[in-house]
């Protein structure tokens, strides 16, 4: 099943894909649908069908309670950054103000000269979990989405902590869809790629993650409870601009495209405001 959060004249609405159309639901967004226990959608349709090509996608979960991100979690990216494979996941956070929809503009931080791309698989939590074992962690996954952890590298490196380079407002595409776990399995092996102005920069498989979705939920939930609608960004493969020689970064007018087969794609133009 595919769900999205779309913008309408009366505000945002959760919507489900059925026969190629988006059917609006009574819930204000996908996060609200998850918090309601992910009820069967057929009894909650409320509105006329929308063509996906004409939809105005909001972030698939617009206001998650937590956005937990994982750094250095693909083998090839770890090697290109000159590091060793980690014993534990490297965690940092984002705030909901950083999220944008699948076709929204990325607002480049005006004081950064090194804004980078990081295509990622996002895990969306479906049930509350704390100190989960493997079986509970698997059941906690509602599904997956496409994301890009757009990063201001110069801000990121101002201190040993990464937060300030990772959570600028309106920089993180999330969507367009939540694809439920029954279509992918809890440890999906999917093709992930990221392109800038039509030129592929990253290409890998999500099976190359050092710590997969289940392991991440087990580790994170031992530290903090996870709730329906919370988001985990699982890390990025090799090919980031900062790892290239010479380095490459996003500029005003750049179009950043991130795609994961089965899950969909985002396409976002970079702007200065």
| Predicted local distance difference test score (pLDDT) of residue 11 | 95
- Give the strand pairing for 264-271 and 106-107: parallel
Per the rule left: phi > 0, alpha: psi between -120 and 50, beta: everything else, 9 is alpha
Averaged pLDDT for residues 205-233: 97
pLDDT at position 246 over 90: yes
Q: Residue 258's beta-bridge partner residues?
A: 194, 266
| Predicted local distance difference test score (pLDDT) of residue 245 | 94
Per-residue pLDDT of 83-99, as tens digits, reads 788 899 999 999 999 99
Where exactly are the structural domains of the chain?
1-55, 57-271
Please tell me the distance from the alpha carbon of residue 124 to that of residue 41, in angstroms, as a whole number: 18
Instruction: Identify the CATH assignment for 57-271 out of 3.90.850.10, 3.20.19.10, 2.60.300.12, 3.40.50.150.
Output: 3.90.850.10
Cβ distance 173 to 218 under 8 Å? no
| Predicted local distance difference test score (pLDDT) of residue 215 | 98
| Predicted local distance difference test score (pLDDT) of residue 78 | 79
65 Cβ partners below 8 Å, 6+ apart? Answer: 227, 229, 230
Averaged pLDDT for residues 34-45: 96
Q: What are phi and psi of 137, to 5 degrees?
A: -60, -40
By CB atoms closer than 10 A (0-12, 13-18, 19+), residue 272 is: exposed
- The separation between CA 97 and the C-alpha centre of its own chain, rounded to angstroms, equals 14
| Predicted local distance difference test score (pLDDT) of residue 75 | 83
| Predicted local distance difference test score (pLDDT) of residue 140 | 98
Residue 38 banded pLDDT, cuts 50, 70, 90: very high
pLDDT at position 133 over 90: yes
Half-sphere exposure of residue 47, counting CA atoms within 13 Å on the CB side? 23
pLDDT at position 28 over 90: yes
- Whole-number mean pLDDT of the chain? 96
pLDDT at position 37 over 80: yes
Averaged pLDDT for residues 224-248: 97
Specify the DSSP class assigned to residue 89.
Answer: -
pLDDT at position 186 over 80: yes
| Predicted local distance difference test score (pLDDT) of residue 77 | 80
| Predicted local distance difference test score (pLDDT) of residue 244 | 95
Per-residue pLDDT of 48-82, as tens digits, reads 999 999 999 999 999 999 999 999 899 878 777 78
Residue 176: cis peptide before it, omega within 30 degrees of 0: yes
């Amino acid at each position: 099943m595919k769900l999205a959060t779309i913008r309408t004249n009366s505000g945002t609405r959760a919507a489900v894909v059925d026969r190629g159309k988006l059917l609006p639901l009574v819930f204000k967004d996908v996060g609200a649908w998850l918090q309601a226990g992910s009820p069967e959608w057929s009894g909650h349709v409320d509105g006329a069908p929308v063509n996906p090509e004409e939809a105005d996608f909001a972030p698939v979960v617009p206001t998650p309670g937590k956005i937990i991100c994982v750094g250095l979690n693909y083998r090839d990216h770890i090697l290109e950054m000159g590091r060793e494979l980690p014993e534990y996941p490297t965690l940092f956070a984002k705030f909901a103000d950083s999220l944008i929809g699948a076709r929204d503009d990325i607002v480049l931080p005006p004081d950064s000269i090194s804004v980078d791309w990081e295509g990622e698989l996002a895990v969306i939590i479906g049930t509350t979990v704390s100190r989960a074992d493997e079986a509970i962690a698997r059941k906690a996954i509602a599904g997956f989405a496409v994301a890009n952890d757009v990063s201001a590298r110069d801000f990121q490196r101002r201190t040993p902590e990464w937060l300030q380079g990772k959570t600028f407002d309106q920089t993180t595409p999330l969507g367009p869809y939540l694809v439920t776990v029954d279509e992918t399995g809890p440890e999906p092996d999917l093709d992930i790629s990221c392109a800038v102005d039509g030129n592929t920069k990253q290409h890998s498989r999500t099976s190359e993650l050092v710590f997969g979705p289940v392991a991440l939920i087990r580790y994170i939930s031992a530290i903090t409870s996870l709730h329906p609608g919370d988001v985990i960004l699982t890390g990025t493969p090799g090919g980031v601009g900062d790892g290239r020689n010479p380095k490459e970064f996003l500029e005003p007018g750049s179009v950043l495209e991130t795609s994961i087969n089965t899950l969909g794609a985002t396409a976002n133009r970079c702007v200065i405001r």
